[in-house]
Structure 1
Amino acid sequence: MSRVRVCRKPNCNKLISFEQSNPYCSEHAGLYHKRNPFAKQQRKQNYSMYNKYKRDKEANAFYHSKQWRTVSNHIKREAYFTCQCCGHTYDKTGYLVVDHIIPRRVDKRKQSDEDNLWVLCKRCHYWKGELENRIYQSQSLVVNMDTSKKWDRGKMTEWILKHEHK
């Protein structure tokens, strides 16, 4: 008998061949994305420009700290390198982002709180950013704190998936 493994989709227990490069069964095969060989270089250039010209210095220092790298890697491993919104998984670095549910700019006390972090693919992270731009329009920290209590992980996931598949 050949070696088998379980489909990577949460709650799917279908068996697939161990040698199969796609970690999903035939029903969920569309969730797997292969890597673009030139993506790393492009991503590195875009990220560098963002850090240099758009991100504030304090946030840049935080996101490049050893503490953040440790927490971020831990969260990704716990999520099995799978987007906690749409369920896509990625086998290479750079496609997943550890995101703050309540943004760091709204509540810095939760910047390293694991309950305030989740793993998103780049696409879901884009839509999460669009949602944040809509709901955190106030300059008032108090208003933004109140707003953050209305948007939990489930509500955000629902909004992201609705807008992502229009």
Structure 2
Amino acid sequence: MPIKKICNKAACNSLINVGDKYCDKHKDQGQIDKRERNRHYDKYQRDQKSKQFYNSKEWKLLREKIKLKFNGLCLKCLENKKIKVGVIADHIIPIKVDWSLRLVESNIDFLCVECHNAKTAEDKKIYGLD
């Protein structure tokens, strides 16, 4: 019998599979939580210079160019002989480290969420970023 756990939604006692976060009734909660985390990050943590840059026409065009260049696939997964959709254009050398490389195409990879999170954690260790 598969192992079950309780839905992550407060006060919901529905049992779900271990790999899931929410029951069918609250499955949209994950997207709501993600939007809220992003909104909080943008408001309280992301510096205004970076926020303006990521909303700029130049960045959006370059991001789309990178996505098309790599057929929308995660580069790190491809290196490991896996095929996974990429969703994040990531600066190889973070813009907090070298602002001048922010629009340099060769400084940008296209990654899936998992690979981006791993790279961000690595960048924090290497460059002491928060």
TM-score range, shorter chain: 0.5 to 0.7
TM-aligned CA deviation for residue 43 of structure 1: 3.1
TM-aligned CA deviation for residue 40 of structure 1: 4.6
Q: 2:77 aligned with 1:82, yes or no?
A: no
Corresponding residue to 1:50 among 17, 41, 44:
41
Match of 2:51 in 1: 60
TM-score by length of 2: 0.68
Structure 2: gaps (5+ residues): 1-26
Q: Percent identity?
A: 31
Secondary structure at 1:80 match in 2: coil
For residue 102 of structure 1, what is the amino acid of its counterpart?
Answer: I
Paired residues, number: 98
Q: CA RMSD in A?
A: 1.9
Structure 1: gaps (5+ residues): 1-36, 139-166
Secondary structure at 1:132 match in 2: helix
Match of 2:106 in 1: 115
User: Distance in 1 between the 2:43 and 2:84 partners?
Assistant: 30
TM-aligned CA deviation for residue 49 of structure 1: 1.4
TM-aligned CA deviation for residue 133 of structure 1: 1.1
TM-aligned CA deviation for residue 70 of structure 1: 0.7
The superposition leaves residues 90-121 of structure 1 with CA deviations (integer Å, 9 ceiling, x where unpaired) of 3xxxx611000011011111100000000011
Match of 1:156 in 2: none
For residue 89 of structure 1, what is the amino acid of its counterpart?
Answer: K
Distance 1:60 1:83, change over 3 A: same
